[in-house]
Each structure stands twice: as C-alpha cells, then as structure tokens.
Structure 1
Amino acid sequence: MSTPLISLARDWQDANTLALPVALAPWILEPASLTARLKRHCQNFRLQVLQEYSAVLPEFLQPLLPDTTTAQVREVILWCNDMPCVYAQSWLPEQTITTLRPLADLGERPLGDYIFQHQSLHRGTIEAAQLDVMLTQLNIAARCYVRRSVFQLEGQPLLVAEAFLPDISKLEATL
C-alpha cells in the first residue's frame, strides 16, 4: 500500500488570519480554481500524476472527512512553463467516488477543471501551514506554504491540499 509523498499532519490555521508572504498570498487565498489561475499566468500548463492509490484515512484527517475510512489519494504536480509550481494531494472518500464517477477516472485532467464547473460546489475554509517538501524525483527540498480545503460537491466531501513549490515565485515574477 502506498503512502503520500508529503504528510499533511500539521497545525493548520485559517489562511485569512496568517501573515502570508506578499507574493504568495494571492495564490494561497485564491477562492476559485487554482488550476484556472495557473493557466492564466503561464503559456504552457500541464499536470503530472505522481501516484494514485486507495488508502486508509489517517487519524489526523478523520475530523475533516467524517464517516470515511478509506479514500482514493491522488498526488500531482502542476507545471507552468516547464516549471513545477504546485504539488497537489487530494483525498476522495469512496462514497464521493461512487456518487461522482468521473472523479475515479481523471487521468491527467486537473481535479479543479471538473469540480469548479459544478454549481453545487461549496468550499470550506482555506487553511494554511508551512511544511518541508521533499520531492526527490524533482530535486525539490524546501520549506513551502501549503493550503487545504474541504469541498462539498453534490453533498459529497473531498479534501484538496496544495503546496506552493519554489518555482511559483518565478512565475509570479513574469506577470
């Protein structure tokens, strides 16, 4: 059984109450699709699936996804102009996938492209933290800001966490 490349076990706080770096704040606080925002700020966008597997929900995530024991975990890198800008980790409970079948077969399609097209989408509080990111396959070892939110789509929960990798600052500088 696989485990996430990055652990989300952290002390999370409401992102609106944190003193965020000026260059990252618009990205972290983005209420709409981060994927859409990235696409607007780069000429060449792509998604790379790192791993996708079924996992037992860790104890620290149980308060966010109650009544869930197992979930489909999807870990991806969002690339802009050939730079790895965002690492994303999503937790999709079995019941969510049963209700929303297209989520089971996203392939290289961004999750944001699917969920943000639905009127029934509700996003919970955007929380933020800092964590040490170690992605050896990309030669990345850095302390990064990460945000997470629980979404409700057609009454079904899903958790999305996004780590802002160092190259996002290069992208921001090109605006």
Structure 2
Amino acid sequence: MPTNYRQREPLWRPAAQKSWQLPRDLAPWILDQGSLTARLQAHSQGQFEVQLLNQGWGQARQSELLALKCPSRQKMLVREVILKGRGESWVFARSLVPYTSLTGRLKALKYLDNKPLGALLFQDPGMLRDPLEAAAIGAEHEYLHSSLDLPEQFALWGRRSVFYIDKNPLLVSEVFLPDFLASL
C-alpha cells in the first residue's frame, strides 16, 4: 500500500436521500447517473486530462469492502487519479477492482494509465450500476491522496457507486475539488 494514502473514512449515504443538504450548484453533478468523464469533458470545453497518482495492488477500506461485498483479505487493484479540466485539478477519483473481477473485458483496467475509466465503463452495453452514495468529506476523514494541495481544513463533497461488467464489481469514488467548485 502506498505510504501517502490515509486511512480514515467518510460516512457514505444514499445520494438521493432527502436529508442530504447538497450544495445547489454541485447537486446535479453528484446525483447525475451518467458519465462524469463525459460531463467534465464538456464542462472543460475539451481541455480534459487524467493524471495518474497511483495504480497498483492495495487494500480496500472497510466501507469499500462492504460496498463491493468482498472478503476483508481480497486483493484489490487500487487506482487513484486527478481528473483535470482546463489545467486545474477538478476531481479526485479512487477506483477499486477486486482481483477476481479482472477477467474478460475488465482485464483492460490494469492498463488504463492516463486514460479515463468512465469512457471504458459507459461504452460497455452490459454495464450495470448500483445507486449513488454521497459523503461530505473533510480533512478529518483522511480520504484524499496526500499529494493534493488543499488547505489544512476543507469541506468537500464526493460520490461513489459500484459498477458491474459481466457481473464483476468495481467501486468508483469521485471527490469534487475546490478548483472545480470555482468553475461552476
């Protein structure tokens, strides 16, 4: 596991739950069932790129294992990236793929590098997706990659969901960063 990865978790809840007080400008982005990659590409007017922070074998957090319905010792491919728009860091994304899911069409996930995962997922006609979950994420959750240049105290929003291709699960979480919020 990378040494720059932090361990505490945010509290993920169903995104559609009425008690959530999502920021008005951000709510459509959190609740959207479509491809975040495609929306970010349009919002950035084509000035979109993926910056790979980490990709390798690692451990899932407890809530990630529960979401994936995996045993605690399941080997995971962990991928962490920054989705950039107009040269700015807009979204931190963390994807977990159980070793047992890296078969068939999902084998390609091992070789994504700086390519967007969303493009691969949403082009698959057999892809299914669980309902979105959302969380308010602060510095105390220690969820984000340590290389991100964030103020000592911050409050951000994220979303996550489990995708299935050929009945094989993978978990994708996305956290909207301050530069993205400024672009709205």
TM-score by length of 1: 0.90
Query: Deviation per CA, 1:107-164, whole angstroms, max 9, x where unpaired?
Result: 1101001010011111101111111256553422322101110111111000000000
1:56 aligns with 2:59: yes
**Aligned pairs (5 A) from 1:5-16:** 5=5, 7=7, 9-16=9-16
Q: Displacement, 1:170?
A: 2.3
Map of 1:65 onto structure 2: 68
**Aligned pairs (5 A) from 1:13-52:** 13-17=13-17, 18-43=20-45, 44-52=47-55
The more displaced of 59-68 and 31-40 is: 59-68
The letter for the 1-side match of 2:62 is: E
The letter for the 2-side match of 1:82 is: G
Gap regions ≥5 residues in structure 2: none
Q: What secondary structure, in the 3-state scheme, does the structure 2 residue paired with 1:137 have?
A: coil
The more displaced of 87-96 and 58-67 is: 58-67
What is the aligned-residue RMSD (CA, Å)? Answer: 1.8
Percent identity of equivalent pairs = 36
Map of 1:167 onto structure 2: 179
1:96 aligns with 2:105: no
Gap regions ≥5 residues in structure 1: none
Structure with the larger RCO, 1 or 2 (CA within 8 Å, 6+ apart)? 2
Query: Deviation per CA, 1:41-67, whole angstroms, max 9, x where unpaired?
Result: 113101100011111333332221224
TM-score by length of 2: 0.86
Q: Distance in 1 between matches of 2:6 and 2:22?
A: 21
1:143 aligns with 2:149: no
- Name the one with the larger strand percent: 1
Q: Displacement, 1:98?
A: 2.7
1:84 aligns with 2:96: no
Cα contact 1:12–1:128 (8 A) shared by 2: yes
Cα contact 1:4–1:75 (8 A) shared by 2: no
Q: Distance in 1 between matches of 2:146 and 2:70?
A: 34
Q: Distance in 2 between matches of 1:4 and 1:14?
A: 29
The letter for the 1-side match of 2:110 is: A
